[in-house]
Structure 1
Amino acid sequence: MSRPAPWRLSPDSYPKLEVKQTRFQDLDTMGHLNNVAYAALFEDARVRMNQQLGRVNRGKMAEGTFRAVVAQNVINYLAEGSFPEDVEIALGIGRIGNRSFEMLAAMFQSGKCIATCDTTIVMTDPKGESLPAEFVTRLEGMRVKGDLQG
């Protein structure tokens, strides 16, 4: 995997920033955060962003919203993470398609980007319809500030 574009390594490129606590159980035998911990921290940030976007309410799909699944989730591990220092996860929306959208995230510790995560979410139901216009408007308001073409 190639190194992420420089804009991906700055928290200022993302509209949302969350602080997450690391846990002792997140460590591997080498004494740094394991890959499962990275994935879980990114997942928690994604779910909270879905709440903010109105798709999830109290851990369940919000009434009247569409069904969607994670179709692809790619984590680029850039550096070791440690415990007990918190991490910051910056998050925003990348590409928006007719029936899918991309959440782009980066994890920071001590001001350094230690991982990026690109998640493609695809609408599965209702079939044959596009993402709702009002939802697309909310997605547009959460766009990353980087160069999505390069």
Structure 2
Amino acid sequence: MAKPDPALLDPARYPFAHEVTTRFADLDPNDHINNVAMAAVFEDGRVRFNVGAGMVRTETFRPMVASVAIEYLDQAHFPQSMTCHVAACDVGRSSWQMQQLLVQEGRPVATCRTVVVSTDGHKAVPIPDAFRALLQPWLLK
């Protein structure tokens, strides 16, 4: 596994953060938070980011996840909480990316890069200007 870009491990670069409570049920046989639970934390962070940013799905604008890449950096443990940091980045014509950082007790435990495509529900369409403007304050610093 390649080492992550150190700049992506700085929580100050992310304009959105959400505290996550870990659950005993998410432990694996090695007593750390399992990979499926970590993926769910990233998903929850993306959705909370969308709500916080005011993203509203319409009949002609339906964002869809096209790709998710998670890099596990360290073990996460129960019962310590984690913080999911989220930012938008790499905004293109019909897609954008979301970069996330999961931190527990000051340690980066995972990163996630998600590609989101602007669709009309069936095919890719250009990102609406209003949504493009909405993303600006939420870009990775």
| TM-score when normalising by structure 2 | 0.92
Residue 59 of structure 1 is matched in structure 2 by none
Residue 132 of structure 2 is matched in structure 1 by 136
Match of 1:113 among 108, 114, 122: 108
One-letter amino acid matched to 1:134: A
1:59-89 deviation line (CA, Å, top 9, x unaligned): xxx4456112110000000000000000001
1:94-145 deviation line (CA, Å, top 9, x unaligned): 1101111101000000101000000000122165641111110111210111
Q: Is the 8 A contact 2:60 2:119 kept in 1?
A: no
Residue 73 of structure 1 is matched in structure 2 by 68
One-letter amino acid matched to 1:108: V
One-letter amino acid matched to 1:17: A
Q: Which has the higher strand share?
A: 1
Q: 1:15 and 1:63 mapped to 2: Cα distance?
A: 25
Match of 2:94 among 99, 120, 128: 99
Q: Is the 8 A contact 2:60 2:120 kept in 1?
A: no
Give the unaligned 5+ runs of structure 2. none
Q: 2:124 and 2:42 mapped to 1: Cα distance?
A: 30
For the aligned residue pairs, the C-alpha RMSD in angstroms reads 1.5
Residue 25 of structure 1 is matched in structure 2 by 25
Equivalent pairs, count: 140
Residue 84 of structure 1 is matched in structure 2 by 79
Q: 1:85 and 1:105 mapped to 2: Cα distance?
A: 19
Give the unaligned 5+ runs of structure 1. 57-61, 146-150
Q: 2:109 and 2:124 mapped to 1: Cα distance?
A: 39
Q: 1:96 and 1:129 mapped to 2: Cα distance?
A: 13
1:43 and 2:81 are equivalent in the alignment: no
Q: Is the 8 A contact 2:118 2:124 kept in 1?
A: no
1:123 and 2:118 are equivalent in the alignment: yes
